[in-house]
A and B are shown apart, each in its own frame.
Chain A
Amino acid sequence: MTSSPSVATSPETTVSELQRIASQIRRDIVRQVHGCQSGHPGGSLGCADYFTALYFHVLRHDPAKWDMDGKEQDLFFLSNGHISPAWYSTLARSGYFPVKELATFRKLNSRLQGHPTTHEGLPGVRMASGSLGQGLSVGIGAALAKKLNGDGKLVYTLHGDGELQEGQIWEAAMYAAGNKVDNLISTVDYNGRQIDGDVDDVLPLGDLKAKWLAFGWDVLETNGNDMDALLKTFATAKSRTGKGKPVMILMRTEMGQGVDFMMNSHAWHGIAPNDEQLASALSQLEETLGDY
């Protein structure tokens, strides 16, 4: 039993409905992180619109039929595992597990580990992540399995921009293009921030679009905090699959999006709000589906 209704996924969900869901997911994010006084609100808030669009509009999936193999379902892999609160809220709100379980985030004996894991059997999660840079390879493997199985559904992955500093990402990038893994839609949370500061100060990524193009990917750009733009980009991305190239979406977001004092810096990458800050954050985010 859930303490508040989950929302059924439907391809007809409108932009305004999706924005309402995203608002609730943002509330869930700050409440989860506040509840255990640890975790990563910044990137989670920035990607709330992406998760909403993906799970409530784009993915062809049936939470009731969840299993590890996910045959004839679209699959999603979170490579930047630290933004787990956004994913957990999305999974719960789309019916993978009870919404009230969000209250156990990062606590002892929880299925909602600090970083996502298959170890505790949380429905919706097919791979452990947390150590950065590994998810693109996993996505490629799952996409190859789909091809071997004659399964025409797609594989989606999400990555941080700081995460792209890991060499394994570029090994995977080369592999996917070189081997025409064209049932894969990857996205970079291009927020320009990481732990120690702005990505440009820590280790600049250079011309990211030119890099992915040079590696042989089909590259799209979008604003990840504009629901309408996101939906259009996903539609375009889908239309580009099956054409011999993996698809990359460079998605500009604002770290901390939706909570004014968490925006415009890297400061809220990985710290929790206190009671006062929580109240201020929640006052900026409409409760649309009922808090857990």
Chain B
Amino acid sequence: MSSYPILDQKDTRSGFGAGLLELGRSNPNVVGLCADLTGSLKMDAFQKEFPERFFQIGIAEANMMGIAAGLTIGGKIPFTGTFANFSTGRVYDQIRQSIAYAGKNVKICASHAGLTLGEDGATHQILEDIGLMRMLPGMTVIVPCDYNQTRQATIAIAAHEGPVYLRFGRPKWPVFIPNELPFQIGKAQRLIEGSDVSIFACGHLVWRALQAAEELKKNGVSAEVINVHTIKPLDLDAVLASVGKTGCAVTCEEHNRYGGLGDAIAQALATHKPAPQEYVAVNDSFGESGTPDQLLQKYGLDVPDIVKAVGRVMKRK
């Protein structure tokens, strides 16, 4: 398929809420925890239907991570919900010791990630969380790209044994992944086939990458677009096969240029098949208040930025 029609406009966090509700109905071991952001995380439907399996922790994220870790002892599958900043940076050592090192089956579900949370500004716009979570041994890191995929991923991680970081966002965003497209943890999706450049993207920027590919096509550039929804473990085969064909890579993420998807791909290429790469990522800065579109533009994460990065990288082949 070379084009993806917009099926709807929905926020990815609602995909999480929908997936969690389905899990509640199908798996009695699934429990939810939230730190005074039930509405923002779209966990209210789960809370309403399964009040005895929902734990309102209050504004106490460190406590939430510890309680979640404890709930796994006895077979529960805890899904914690708060903003991405308070899901990671705020509670790094609690995650590191009580969840990752202890090998506990906790699903850390994080909304309002990246710049696109908008007006709340830099204190809430974490751009370092993928890096933080990627560095933890045994942590699976998933960044789905739209509502449908976030719903699928939420359901999929319940069946995966081990700690998971699931990152999604606040704004309404195009829904374009058909429900029939299967989601498999660790398996990247080639959304557009191409031969000149491999564009690897995750999260909200997958849609931007698809738009960039359309633009490039008009200029006679054949871009392959790969949705790397699982950043760890990285789908090495998919990365190497694509770059083996195209000879260069552009990575797109709503994250700092350090530590995220770009670095994961760069590491894979450097150690297996060196090839030129360009980053579309935040250039080592904090964010600020603004609308999602304004911020993606100002911080260089928009369609023209991807197109330009492709131009640069192809010259380096």
Chain A proximity of B114: nearest CB distance (Å): 15
- B27 interface residue, CB < 8 Å from A? no
The answer to whether B85 touches A114, judged by C-beta atoms less than 8 angstroms apart, is no
Residues of A within 8 A of B119 (CB): 36, 38-39, 106, 114
Residues in chain B near residue A38, CB distance under 8 A:
118-120
Q: What's the dominant secondary structure at chain A's contact region? A: loop
Given contacts A108-B288, A162-B36, A194-B36, contact A129 B123 (CB under 8 A): yes
Residue of B60, B63, B123, B290 near A115 (CB, 8 A) is: B123
Interface mask (A161-186 → B, CB under 8 Å = 1, otherwise 0): 01101110000000000000000000
**B111-133 contact mask (Cβ, 8 Å, vs A): 1 or 0:** 00000001111111000000000
B40 interface residue (CB < 8 Å to A): yes
| Alpha-carbon distance between A163 and B289 when the two chains are bound, in angstroms | 22
Chain B residues in 8 Å Cβ range of A196: 34, 36-39, 56
Say yes or no: is A202 at the interface (Cβ < 8 Å to chain B).
yes
B60 touches A203 (CB 8 A): yes
- The interface-forming segment of B216-224, B253-261, B265-273, B291-299 is B291-299
**Interface presence of B86 (CB below 8 A):** yes
Q: Give chain B nearest CB distance to A31 CB in angstroms.
A: 16
Closest B residue by C-beta to A40: B120
* B122 in contact with A119 (CB, 8 Å): yes
A195-B37 contact, Cβ under 8 Å, with A115-B124, A130-B120: yes
> Does any Cβ of A come within 8 Å of B176's Cβ?
no
Knowing A38-B119, A108-B294, say if A113 contacts B57 (CB, 8 Å): no
Q: Can you list, as one digit per residue, whether each of A66-83 has a CB less than 8 Å from chain B (1) or not (0)?
A: 000000000000000100
Give B residues with C-beta under 8 Å from A: 34, 36-40, 56-60, 62-63, 85-86, 90, 118-124, 286, 288-291, 294-295, 298
Complex Cα distance, B124 from A132, in Å, reads 11
Q: Which residue of A lies closest to B125 (CB)?
A: A114
Q: Which residues of A contact B39 (CB under 8 A)?
A: 195-196
Q: How far is the CB of A134 from chain B (nearest CB, A)?
A: 10
With a CB–CB cut-off of 8 A, which chain B residues contact A166?
59-60
Q: Given A114, A120, A129, which contacts B120 in the complex, CB threshold below 8 Å?
A: A114
Within 8 Å CB of B121, what residues of A? 106, 113-115, 117, 130
CA distance A203 to B119 in the complex (A): 28
Decide if A167 touches B124 in the complex (CB within 8 Å).
Answer: no
Contacts of B288 in A (CB 8 A): 108-110, 113, 119-120
Minimum CB distance partner of B58 in chain A: A203
Residue contact A195 to B286, C-beta cutoff 8 Å: no
> Which chain B residues lie closer than 8 Å to A114 at the CB level?
119-121, 123-124, 289
| A113–B122 CB distance below 8 A | yes
Shortest C-beta distance, B249 to chain A (Å), equals 31
Q: Are A110 and B37 in contact (CB under 8 A)?
A: no
Q: Nearest Cβ in chain B — how far from A239, in angstroms?
A: 33
Q: Report yes or no: A108 in contact with B123, Cβ–Cβ below 8 A.
A: no
Binary CB contact string for chain A from 98 to 140 against chain B (1 if under 8 A, 0 otherwise)? 0000000011111011110101100000001111110000000
Q: Mark A208-226, 1 if CB is under 8 A from B, else 0.
A: 0000000000000000000
CB B140 to nearest CB in A, in angstroms, measures 25
CA distance A251 to B40 in the complex (A): 28
| Residues of B close to A203: CB separation below 8 A | 36, 56-60
Residues of A within 8 A of B289 (CB): 36, 106-108, 110, 112-114
Cα–Cα, bound, A36→B288 (Å)? 14
B169 to chain A, nearest CB (A): 16
**Known: A115-B124, A130-B123, A131-B90. Contact between A167 and B62, CB under 8 A?**
yes
From the candidates B56, B60, B294, B295, name the one contacting A167 in the complex (CB within 8 A). Answer: B60
Closest to A115 in B: B123
C-alpha gap A203/B35 in the complex (Å)? 10
Q: Which residues of B contact A120 (CB under 8 A)?
A: 288
Residues of B within 8 A of A81 (CB): 123
Chain B residues with CB under 8 Å of A107's CB are: 289-290
The 10 closest A-B pairs by CB, nearest first: A130-B123, A203-B58, A114-B121, A108-B290, A165-B58, A38-B119, A113-B121, A165-B59, A106-B119, A114-B120
- Tell me the bound Cα distance from A20 to B306 in angstroms: 53
| Contact (Cβ within 8 A) B123 A194 | no
Q: Which has the most chain B C-beta neighbours within 10 Å: A39, A120, A195?
A: A195
Give every chain A residue within 8 A of B38 (Cβ-Cβ).
Answer: 196
- Provide the residues of chain B in CB contact with A167, threshold 8 Å: 60, 62-63
Chain A: minimal CB distance from B239 (Å): 35
The answer, among B59, B90, B298, for a CB contact under 8 Å with A162, is B59
Q: Which residue of A lies closest to B89 (CB)?
A: A131
Q: Which residues of B contact A130 (CB under 8 A)?
A: 120-121, 123-124
Closest to A164 in B: B59
- Indicate if the CB atoms of B120 and A132 lie closer than 8 Å: no
Task: Output the least CB separation between A27 and chain B (Å).
Answer: 21
Complex Cα distance, B118 from A106, in Å, reads 9
Minimum Cβ distance to chain A for residue B4 (Å): 29
Residue of B nearest to A203 (CB): B58
Alpha-carbon distance A260/B100, docked complex (angstroms): 49
* Docked CA distance A162–B37 (Å): 12
Distance, CA A153 to CA B303, complexed state (A): 53
Residue in chain A with minimal CB distance to B117: A114
Say whether B123 contacts A165, CB under 8 Å: no
Q: A113-B288, A196-B37 are in contact. Are A132 and B122 (CB under 8 A)?
A: no
